[in-house]
Amino acid sequence: MEHELALTRGSPLQSSKGLEKWANRPEQIGQLACWLRRGGATTLEQEELDPKSPIFAALLDDQA
């Protein structure tokens, strides 16, 4: 997810429970957890970005 997209179109984070354990990881998930833990972080659900399931879309393409 792009930070700018989440900031402009996102909803406030409902809970930060469990983010502490992820924030210490070196991968991108750690960066995301740190960002979500800071004040004012927002989130977007994948369905809001693209309401079509990629699996369903692939199945439809295979049938065409």
DSSP 10: -
Task: Give the pLDDT score at 3.
Answer: 67
pLDDT, tens digit, for every residue of 32-50? 888 888 877 777 766 555 5
| 63 — pLDDT class (breaks 50, 70, 90) | low
Tokens of 30: 């750690």
pTM of the model: 0.50
The pairing of beta strand 42-43 with beta strand 11-12? antiparallel
pLDDT tens-digit profile of 4-25? 776 777 888 888 888 888 899 8
User: If you average pLDDT over residues 55-60, what whole number do you get?
Assistant: 68
12 in Cβ contact with 39 (< 8 Å): no
Q: In one letter, which amino acid is 60?
A: L
